[in-house]
Amino acid sequence: MSRLRIFAETDPSTPLFASYDPDFIAEELEKIGVQFERWHAGKPLRPGATQEEVIEAYKADIDRISAERGFTTVDVASITPDNPNKDAARAKFIDEHYHKEDEVRFFVEGSGLFVLHVGAKVYEIECVKDDLISVPDGTTHWFDMGPEPRFTAIRFFQQPDGWVGHFTGTDIAQKFPRYEHPSQQAA
């Protein structure tokens, strides 16, 4: 289930706002220029679908957002807990950074945690299957896929190096809780 929690940047223990309602999540994120949508596949997808099958299943939404936003490249990224490089992949974007183009991800399956640092607030968005998030270029944030990552995501780019992270050097990401995949969390 999608979730948004908003914190004061100085207090990672007490959310100022929390919601599991996708409409409320979209409304709150829109206030800071972040797009949040829910998509549904136009065709059934089997487990382990190829990149081409995934893109075909979401073709209408992919074409719409690419036309609206000028994306020239779309690909599919996937990671599972048995990936020998999972720790390095997690570490890659777990510190505060920004990109020089919008970071747009659609979760075909699984989940991940985007944490945005905007002004004096921290917006923690747990993205799950069917969630699209678009983080505006220049927005400081971090992404945590958890210790046992499991997701397949469609990624959108305008430039080949659009995914490159520019790190701020702050330690704010270490002050906030790390992500645990929903199946790893205590009941």
> Is the alpha carbon torsion for 53, 57, 60, 62 positive or negative?
negative
What pLDDT, on the 0 to 100 scale, is given for residue 182? 63
Mean local confidence (pLDDT), 47-59: 93
Is-above-0.85 flag for pTM?
Answer: yes
pLDDT at 56: 96
Q: What is the mean pLDDT of residues 35-44?
A: 94
Where along the chain do its domains lie? 37-111+126-173
CATH number for region 37-111+126-173: 2.60.120.10
Residue written as tokens 């990624």?
155
Q: Give yes or no for residue 109 having a pLDDT over 70.
A: yes
Helices (H), the chain: 22-30, 51-57, 59-69, 86-92, 172-175
